[in-house]
């Protein structure tokens, strides 16, 4: 039974990666013909006009693969995640449409956040009444409210951190693979594995076009719905009793974005405006190549996956402590690299 599940997961990953590579290549041609370009400015980390909108290839590759997985019963736990998958597909499609409009015409912040809360709130409202993300540490209403805020924050973290070549493909690939490994090691929510591996593989497929020097960028049309889908995977992992692992896997991204935004607020800067103050961005500005910084993120993420597996095995304190040490080391290295 388990081997059949993992065979299905492997097939889903291969299909998603192939679709992602092919669809993104087609999108690149469309963006070039329409001259839909991200032109360098004082907040950019690139030097040449580059097509933006690669999410139009990656996200549909994920959604098509997820739709097939939702239609085909899983060998283990048939239909367990089918309803959640359809809700996720619908939410990601809505966010993709809104984000493409934002990419082209720059929507105000208020309707963007409102739309994200509506989509996230709808997904959470469809969870079973007794399903608690924070494992009973909070009353049910507070559990839902905090989960909604955390999910929307993660969507925006994922968007904020998409600032150099390769980083988002590496992060999404790491999170998808990490979720799959945790469910495999713990035997909980194993039906998540095909969905997680499909998303991670599609992100890796995108790296064919986005590795330094990037031929195109993801755009909000990609980073926002991918952040939503990844947040949903982490939510399901937490609901399955692996809250610590769900918090550990994205720890670097959340730490970098939260610390940077917090410092901007303290300094009285308009924190929602685009900027180049994240730890990884400052390292690139100081002279490091995009791929060098992206590989540091990959190395750190592999260590965070190990910490998540440690926490999933019941050694939560050791896993959490290891994750704190990994994130601190990553930030310290990037801070050191950011010095001229």
Q: Are 313 and 185 in contact (CB under 8 A)?
A: yes
Q: Are 193 and 237 in contact (CB under 8 A)?
A: no
Exposed, middle or buried, 128 (CB in 10 Å: 0-12/13-18/19+)? exposed
Reported as a pLDDT band with limits 50, 70 and 90, residue 78 is very low
Return the DSSP state at 170: H
Number of other CB atoms surrounding residue 195 within 10 Å: 29
What is the gyration radius of the CA atoms in the chain, in angstroms?
19
Q: Does the structure show a pLDDT above 70 at 43?
A: no
How far apart, in whole angstroms, are the C-alpha atoms of residue 30 and residue 291?
A: 26
Selected residue with higher pLDDT from 47 and 195: 195
Q: Which two tokens stand for residue 253?
A: 């991204």
Summarised one tens digit per residue, pLDDT across range 138-164 is: 999 999 999 999 999 999 999 999 999
Place of tokens 């939410």: 91
Reported as a pLDDT band with limits 50, 70 and 90, residue 77 is very low
- Count how many domains the chain has: 1
Q: Does the structure show a pLDDT above 70 at 64?
A: yes
**Strand 50-51 relative to strand 37-38, pairing:** antiparallel
Chain centroid offset of residue 147 CA = 16
Q: What angle do CA 236, 66, 78 make, to 5 degrees?
A: 65
Helix (H) or strand (E) holding 192: none
Beta strands in 36-175 (DSSP E): 37-38, 50-51
Whole-prediction pTM: 0.95
Containing structural domain, residue 297: 2-337
Reported as a pLDDT band with limits 50, 70 and 90, residue 1 is very low
Q: How many CA atoms lie within 13 A of 85 on its CB side?
A: 26
The SS3 call for residue 52 is: strand
Summarised one tens digit per residue, pLDDT across range 269-281 is: 877 777 789 999 9
Residue 227 has a pLDDT of 98
Q: Does the structure show a pLDDT above 70 at 76?
A: no
Over residues 84-101, the mean pLDDT reads 97
Selected residue with higher pLDDT from 177 and 265: 177
Q: Give CB contacts under 8 A, 24+ apart, made by 40-47.
A: 43/274, 43/275, 43/276, 44/276, 45/163, 45/164, 45/276, 45/281, 45/284, 45/285, 45/290, 46/165, 46/214, 46/217
Q: Are 243 and 135 in contact (CB under 8 A)?
A: yes
């Amino acid at each position: 039974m388990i081997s059949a599940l993992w065979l299905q997961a492997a097939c889903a990953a291969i299909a998603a990666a192939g679709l992602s590579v092919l669809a993104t290549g087609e999108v690149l041609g469309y963006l070039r013909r329409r001259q839909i370009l991200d032109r360098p400015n004082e907040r950019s980390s690139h030097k040449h006009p580059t097509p933006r909108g690669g999410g139009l290839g990656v996200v549909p590759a994920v959604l098509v693969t997820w739709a097939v997985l939702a239609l085909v019963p899983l060998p283990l736990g048939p239909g367990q995640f089918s309803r959640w998958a359809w809700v996720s597909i619908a939410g990601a499609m809505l966010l993709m449409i809104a984000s493409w409009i934002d990419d082209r015409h720059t929507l105000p912040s208020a309707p963007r956040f409102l739309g994200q809360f509506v989509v996230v709130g709808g997904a959470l409202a469809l969870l079973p009444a007794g399903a608690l993300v924070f494992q009973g540490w909070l009353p049910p209403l507070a559990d839902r409210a905090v989960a909604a805020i955390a999910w929307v924050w993660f969507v925006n973290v994922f968007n904020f951190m998409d600032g150099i070549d390769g980083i988002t493909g590496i992060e999404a690939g790491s999170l998808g693979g990490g979720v799959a490994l945790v469910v495999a090691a713990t035997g909980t929510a194993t039906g998540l594995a095909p969905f997680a591996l499909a998303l991670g593989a599609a992100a890796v497929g995108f790296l064919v076009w986005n590795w330094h020097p990037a031929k195109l960028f993801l755009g909000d049309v990609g980073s926002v719905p991918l952040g939503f889908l990844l947040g949903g995977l982490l939510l399901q992992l937490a609901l399955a009793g692996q809250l610590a692992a769900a918090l550990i896997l994205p720890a670097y991204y959340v730490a970098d974005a939260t610390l940077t935004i917090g410092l901007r607020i303290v300094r009285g800067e308009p924190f929602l405006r685009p900027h180049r103050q994240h730890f990884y961005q400052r390292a690139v500005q100081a002279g490091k190549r995009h791929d060098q910084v992206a590989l540091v993120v990959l190395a750190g993420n592999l260590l965070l996956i190990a910490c998540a597996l440690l926490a999933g095995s019941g050694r939560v304190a050791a896993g959490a402590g290891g994750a704190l040490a990994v994130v601190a080391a990553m930030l310290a290295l990037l801070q050191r690299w950011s010095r001229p």
